[in-house]
Structure 1
Amino acid sequence: MGRSTSLLQQMTIFVTVVTGGGCGMMYYLMQKNFAKSEFHRLAVEQLNRNSTAMASLGAPPLKIHNIHLTDRHNRVDHANAQLKIPVTGSKTGGYLYTASTRDTLMNRWCLQRVALQLRTGEIIDIFPETESE
């Protein structure tokens, strides 16, 4: 009886470790896919081009963090993408809110809106530009 209980415990530990590793790998791969996506890349490029937003963050250096997969602001389907990307600079941080649509004819993502909300609550509209720079 002792031997079968020991074997069962070993199997339980093995399955737990494999399941945890699989979940960790899945999370990592999902984050990597979001970071490589066109709608994510276009939004971050717009942030990098906006001197007001970058100065408010204290960037460079700009750090782009993993998105929260369970956040209701993060939704992607075949035609629309909406993300809330955590960003930080040396002064403060905030969230980069993005909305994109897919152009089916050109098979490309097109930004609709990019805005930075700082921790202070201030919102900086990045795209489309609201004022001439």
Structure 2
Amino acid sequence: MRQKNAGNAWQPQYMQERKLKKMPASVQKLQQMAIYLGIVGGAASAVMYYLMQKNFAKSQYFQLAVEKLKVHEMAMDSLGAPPLKIHNIRLTDRHNHVDKERAKLKIPVSGARSAGYLYSFSTRDAILDRWHLEEALLQLKDGTSFVLFNEKEEIEADRAESGDHIFNN
């Protein structure tokens, strides 16, 4: 037997009853599933973010830059360190890029007096499977900059000290 529903379309009675009985339960289950998946997805994202930050902090190219900062007395004094706080890098920042051959990072750092960014550029020696720091620079929020390390300047200084001018242009 067919009955008329509110939309002026004819449907069998069992279909109307089935929709009325099962629809609320399905919607409730879908809502529960959406909430559950949202929580699981959010937790998975947080864990992934934490692990990525941990991997950056352990990496050789990250450690080389931080070591250069720690031994630079004027930069550490300007920050008001120790204690030196190294914060998580912003994964979406365009200054942070790592591939197989190069690592370019913008590491947020702070001390008791000031804060800023430690910029570093490193290259990887494929033969030795090691990272080499090419350049490290500390830029404070007040605009003060410290060149912590520049490999080209170090090489030139070493050549000048040793009297080796053969390779100079």
Question: TM-score category by the smaller chain?
Answer: over 0.9
In the alignment, structure 1 segments of 5+ residues that lack a partner are none
Letter in 1 for 2:50: Y
d(CA) in 1 for partners of 2:28, 2:141: 52
Which residue identity is paired with 2:145? I
Q: Give 1:3 deviation, angstroms.
A: 1.4
Are 1:2 and 2:24 counterparts?
A: yes
Give a deviation string over 1:79-112, Cα, whole Å, max 9, x none: 0000000000000000000000001111100000
The residue that corresponds to 1:95 in the other structure is 117
Instruction: From 81, 84, 92, give the equivalent of 1:59.
Output: 81
Which protein has the bigger helix share? 2
Q: Distance in 2 between matches of 1:5 and 1:73?
A: 45
> Which residue of structure 1 aligns with residue 96 of structure 2?
74
Residue identity matched to 1:74 = N
Inter-partner Cα distance in structure 1 for 2:24 and 2:133: 63
Match for residue 162 of structure 2? none
* TM-score for both structures, normalised by structure 2: 0.75
Measure, in 2, the Cα distance between the counterparts of 1:57 and 1:69. 24
Q: Which runs of 4+ in 1 moved over 4 A?
A: 129-132
Note the residue ranges of structure 2 that are not aligned, 5 or more in a row.
1-22, 158-169
Match of 1:105 in 2: 127
- Structure 2 residue aligned with 1:121: 143
Which is further off, 50-59 or 121-130? 121-130
Structure 2 distance, partners of 1:63, 1:8, is 45
State the alpha-carbon separation in 2 of the partners of residues 93 and 50 from structure 1: 15
Mean CA deviation greater in 8-17 or 122-131: 122-131
Q: Are residue 16 (structure 1) and residue 42 (structure 2) matched?
A: no
In terms of Rg, which structure is larger? 2
For 2:96 and 2:143, the matched residues in 1 are separated by 20
TM-score computed with the length of structure 1 as normaliser: 0.95
How many residue pairs get aligned? The number is 132
> Could you tell me which amino acid in structure 1 is paired with residue 69 of structure 2?
L
- What SS is found at the alignment partner of 1:19? helix
Question: Structure 1 vs Structure 2: percent identity of aligned residues?
Answer: 55
Shift of 1:128: 2.6
User: SS where residue 73 of structure 1 aligns?
Assistant: coil
